[in-house]
A and B are shown apart, each in its own frame.
Chain A
Amino acid sequence: MRVRLRSGQWAAWAFLAPVGLYLVVFYAYPLYRNVELSLRNYTVRSFVRGDAPFAGFGNYLKVFDDPAFGPALWHTVVFTVVSLVFQFTIGLALALFFVQNFPLSATLRALFLVPWLLPLIVSASTWTWLLNSESGVVNAALGVAGLGPVNWLTSPDWSLWSVTIANIWIGVPFNLVVLYSGLQAIPASVYEAAALDGANRRQRFWRITFPLLRPVSAITLLLGLVYTLKVFDIIWIMTRGGPSGSSTTFATWSYRLGFGNLVPSFGPGAAVGNLLIVAALVFGLVYVRTLHRREA
């Protein structure tokens, strides 16, 4: 029996070997290289020759001292929090609406997934044109309402809001779908009992739906948080973090340092990226714990 068990373990590990190898070579190793990048003074030349001098935490200190650090941190927080609040609120409202089955509801709900499925470059370039200062349809609509044109993407006062709006649009479907599945899991009998007890709609929402949806909401928000921290494509394509850094977050800053300039500074770029990863991992661990507590 013991022999059989052991041979079972061998088989199991043989099946796991590809993914194990894969994780080591294509996850762990790139991450290791990234940490190594952040601890050395890399230039294009030493990159090729591989003899960059060790810099310790010099790159991190450089990043903390950079005048761009404060604004980038602030933009990351604003972008993330505003995106999450609106994505979640709109997603929940839509989920509550769609859960009352009506003709066509399934089809319309499926159509709501489109923004989430589109390649980000498609959404970002579409929004770039929608928000164009002179010829964008958003400013045309504002003009009809008697409001002056807004320089959505070219004014430092508006660029961060513009990319946030686009990101909310992309994130609503995810929130809708997950919260909808959460709502469906609430048994109808609970509502029936409440209705018998004379609870009105508002009471039913705050006393039943909201508390019973809490675990799913927590997961949606945490996952949304981790995803939003990563957002890079949208911002980079729409504004490149500009004008003059007004929509730069950690993700776009890291990219600009590593790839966006003629003279790349890989070290500081990797350092910014590693700060981002620490933030993502912290919230990721909270997410995993929430998930486990739910299962227990």
Chain B
Amino acid sequence: MRRVKTAIGLVLTAVMLFPVYWMVNVSFTRDEDMRRSPPNWFPVDGTLEGYQAVLDRQLPYLATSLVVGLGTVSLTVVVAAPAAYALAKLRPRGGGVLSFLLLIAQMIPGIIMAMGFYAFYLSAGVLNTVPGLIVADSTLAVPFAVLVLTAFMSALPEELLQAARVDGAGTVRTFRSIVLPLSRNALVTVSLFAFLWAWSDFVFASTLDQGGDHQPITLGIYHYIGHNNQEWNAIMATAVVASIPAAVLLVIAQRYVAAGVTAGAVKD
């Protein structure tokens, strides 16, 4: 009976992941086989032309995305971690209101933020710059990061912090030497998500960095499709490469991922 369930589970997973398999399959397909009917279900006469095209043309885009992703992670953690500590342990007046605002902030449609940022950046002169994109992308992660870190830090035992205080550690010292090291898991989760969201962002990139010299990989793919390109193996190869961070995230941090998904929805 349990074997049967595993078999059903395998079939369901295969159906669900078929589009992902197809992306990989097409990325290895030769141009002349692309329009075959019926299509090749396996990359029998596989080619690496698509990946060659990625190496030739997409590396600058990938590098930009890496920089934007890492920048977003740093900015997010620097802004969110102290705030979470305050909300979790220092009981500021008005802390509830702030948490509420953060919860609501997550629900603002990206396209609206993008239009506001466009007007803001145009007058500030930071349109089409990497720092501008990093700041905009961080708005995707900061509210989530504060809420998740707050939930985690609230669970840290009060005795530990009191012991630190008795030993003469100030608030800053307690935060740096006790709270931050103990919150490593939550910080990892938050950083992984911040990176993934920045890496995947298309709305901000396409509005705030459309004319930039350094564009992220999402725009690299978009330009490919937009120019009515027929090199689908190259497009799909780029898509496969662009999916690597998501795959890495799932492999190295599986339990954090599920925890992160639920943390956004059910807080307890």
Cα–Cα, bound, A15→B109 (Å):
28
Q: How far is the CB of B128 from chain A (nearest CB, A)?
A: 14
Q: A115 contacts B119, CB within 8 Å?
A: no
Known contacts A19-B83, A119-B199, A237-B225: does B90 contact A27 (CB below 8 Å)? no
Cα–Cα, bound, A230→B254 (Å):
27
Note all chain B residues with C-beta closer than 8 A to A94. 12
Residues of B within 8 Å of A, CB-based: how many? 98
Tell me the B71-115 residues at the A interface (CB within 8 Å).
Answer: 78-80, 82-83, 85-87, 90-93, 95, 98, 100-105, 107-115
Q: A98 contacts B20, CB within 8 Å?
A: no
Nearest residue, chain A, Cβ from B108: A277
Kindly identify which residue among B80, B95, B265 contacts A220, using a CB–CB cutoff of 8 Å.
B265
Known contacts A274-B112, A277-B108: does B9 contact A219 (CB below 8 Å)? no
Kindly identify which residue among A33, A128, A178, A223 contacts B119, using a CB–CB cutoff of 8 Å.
A33
Kindly identify which residue among A114, A140, A258, A287 contacts B246, using a CB–CB cutoff of 8 Å.
A114
**A48 CB-CB contact with B under 8 Å:** yes
Q: A18 contacts B82, CB within 8 Å?
A: yes
Q: A34 contacts B218, CB within 8 Å?
A: no
**A193 CB-CB contact with B under 8 Å:** no
Kindly identify which residue among A37, A103, A119 contacts B115, using a CB–CB cutoff of 8 Å.
A37
Tell me the B101-142 residues at the A interface (CB within 8 Å).
Answer: 101-105, 107-120, 122-123, 135-136, 138-139, 142
Note all chain A residues with C-beta closer than 8 A to B36. 135
Kindly identify which residue among B22, B90, B93 contacts A126, using a CB–CB cutoff of 8 Å.
B22
Q: Mark A115-140, 1 if CB is under 8 A from B, else 0.
A: 11111111101111110001101001
Note all chain A residues with C-beta closer than 8 A to B120. 29-30, 33
Cα–Cα, bound, A13→B86 (Å):
7
Q: B39 contacts A122, CB within 8 Å?
A: no
Between A22, A123, A181, A269, the greatest number of chain B beta carbons within 10 A of the residue's beta carbon is seen for: A22
**A68 CB-CB contact with B under 8 Å:** no
Kindly identify which residue among A129, A220, A232 contacts B232, using a CB–CB cutoff of 8 Å.
A129
Note all chain A residues with C-beta closer than 8 A to B10. 104, 108
Nearest residue, chain A, Cβ from B99: A288
Q: A276 contacts B109, CB within 8 Å?
A: yes
Known contacts A12-B92, A13-B92, A129-B26: does B119 contact A37 (CB below 8 Å)? yes
**B258 CB-CB contact with A under 8 Å:** yes
Q: B92 contacts A116, CB within 8 Å?
A: no
Known contacts A102-B9, A232-B109, A288-B104: does B19 contact A123 (CB below 8 Å)? yes
* 7 new A-B contacts at CB < 8 Å, known A8-B90, A105-B5, A108-B10: A15-B83, A16-B86, A113-B258, A118-B200, A130-B19, A181-B258, A284-B103
A-side residues, CB < 8 A to B, are 8-9, 11-13, 15-16, 18-20, 22-23, 26-27, 29-34, 36-37, 47-48, 50, 94, 97-98, 100, 102-105, 108, 110-123, 125-130, 134-135, 137, 140, 143-144, 169, 172-174, 177-178, 181-182, 216, 219-220, 223, 226, 229-230, 232-233, 237, 251, 254-255, 258-259, 266, 269-270, 273-274, 276-277, 280-281, 283-285, 287-288, 291, 295
B-side residues, CB < 8 A to A, are 2-3, 5-6, 8-10, 12-13, 16-17, 19-20, 22-23, 26, 34-39, 78-80, 82-83, 85-87, 90-93, 95, 98, 100-105, 107-120, 122-123, 135-136, 138-139, 142, 146, 171, 175, 196, 199-200, 202-203, 206-207, 210, 218, 221-222, 225, 232, 235-236, 239, 242-243, 246-247, 249-250, 254, 257-258, 261-262, 264-268
